[in-house]
Amino acid sequence: MAISDPKMQDLRDMLASPPVESNDPKSIDFRKMLSNLKREAREKSKVAQCLYCNGGYTSFCNSHSIPEFVLRSIASSGMVFTTNALMKIPSLEKESGIKNTGVFRLICNQCDSDLFADYEDPFNYEKEPTGQMLAQIALKNTMKKLSKAQLVLEMQKAIWQQHNISNHITRYANESTLHEIAEVDVREYKKDFDIVKRAVKKRSDSEYRLFYFEKLDYVVPVAFQDSIRPYCDFESNVINNIIKINTRVSELHICIFPLKRSSVVFVFGENDKRTKKYRKFIKQFMKLNPDDKLATICYLSFRYSEDIYIHKNIDQSVIEDESLSRIAGMEDTCKFLPSTPRSKINAKMLEGHALSQRKEIPNLLLPKYAIVQTIQD
């Protein structure tokens, strides 16, 4: 598997000296430039056929990386906060309309409505999700990763061609290395997609295994669905050495779904030998008390993904929380100069991914942060 899993804001680092104030005219220019780059990259990364059924279509479905009914539970006037509400990077949006949140286009309308019907039905969360629902979620997560990897590749090419950033970037890598990383990502996620597609087609309940499931009787203020590769476990044993290229990495899938009056939180993975490496991690996790399990899930979501969405009326102290902002902004990979000794890299990686950091951030899955329901029906 690839060594990178870039959060989109990493791309900002590739552009020289972004302005700091959001109302600065330069910042507006910068935002425009970034959005133009994104649009261009999106055009170039467009697929000609539905990735699932291989049908050629002129119009593709806007697939949601997280079901709309989940986002609706935490939306106010149709809007949610992105993680940039915490990080406050002037060049990125801090809120998003739920219709456009986490949208990507890889499959046709027919496939989208056939494939995800079970998992996108809120009534199916009265009890634990079935193995088939887990496979559908895994497929969606893989598609999103693939779509993002394609976009990152095209954006890297565009940025490299259009902007004089070589001095800034060659401190860490050269152009071909960066492209190689992005290309490996695209290739690996395509392979992953084929594997998950087969699992979905089988309609078997035994391809994925639910490690943890909790139904909470309140509505949590965050919505999340993604797959992650935790770097280390609770005892600082490395699980996924992300420096290694070209070995397929099994991922852990995490869902935080606020519903109308309750929430479900669950973690699952593939049901085969590839998830063996998570056995210790899961064992350590299952020994935690219920609140600490939720704290771990909250931490992992913010630490490893940018696709976590937040209720806009959340307490201001959360938005201003420096630790949460720092964790949300941390990159998956650490940048090192070529001369950095191996031992120093390992120590830094362990420090940057330490699970003990879960105790430094607000545990947004506890009842004290629950959304107070005002609408009665």
The residues of the shown chain that bind Zn ion, judged by CB under 5 A, are 50, 52-53, 55, 108, 111
What are 253's strand-pairing partners? 227, 268
- Retrieve residue 127's tokens: 């009890």
Nearer to Zn ion, 51 or 178 (CB): 51
To 5 degrees, how large is the angle CA 116–CA 121–CA 122? Answer: 140
Please state, in angstroms and rounded to a whole number, the distance separating the CA atoms of residues 61 and 5: 25
Query: Could you tell me the smallest distance in angstroms from the CB atom of residue 147 to Zn ion?
Result: 15
Query: Could you tell me the smallest distance in angstroms from the CB atom of residue 253 to Zn ion?
Result: 23
Please state, in angstroms and rounded to a whole number, the distance separating the CA atoms of residues 4 and 255: 22
3-state class (DSSP) for residue 74: helix
Nearer to Zn ion, 109 or 236 (CB): 109
Nearer to Zn ion, 32 or 46 (CB): 46
**Nearest CA among 92, 84, 90, 96 for reference residue 325:** 84
Query: Could you tell me the smallest distance in angstroms from the CB atom of residue 54 to Zn ion?
Result: 7
Say if residues 265 and 256 touch (Cβ distance below 8 Å): yes
Query: Could you tell me the smallest distance in angstroms from the CB atom of residue 108 to Zn ion?
Result: 4
Query: Could you tell me the smallest distance in angstroms from the CB atom of residue 107 to Zn ion?
Result: 5
Nearer to Zn ion, 47 or 53 (CB): 53
Q: State phi, psi for 98 to the nearest 5 degrees.
A: -65, -25
Query: Could you tell me the smallest distance in angstroms from the CB atom of residue 57 to Zn ion?
Result: 7
Say if residues 370 and 219 touch (Cβ distance below 8 Å): yes
Query: Could you tell me the smallest distance in angstroms from the CB atom of residue 233 to Zn ion?
Result: 39
Say if residues 222 and 310 touch (Cβ distance below 8 Å): yes
Nearer to Zn ion, 46 or 287 (CB): 46
Please state, in angstroms and rounded to a whole number, the distance separating the CA atoms of residues 258 and 71: 8
**Greatest Cα pair distance in the chain:** 63
Nearer to Zn ion, 52 or 234 (CB): 52
Residue matched to tokens 């990077």: 89
Nearer to Zn ion, 62 or 323 (CB): 62
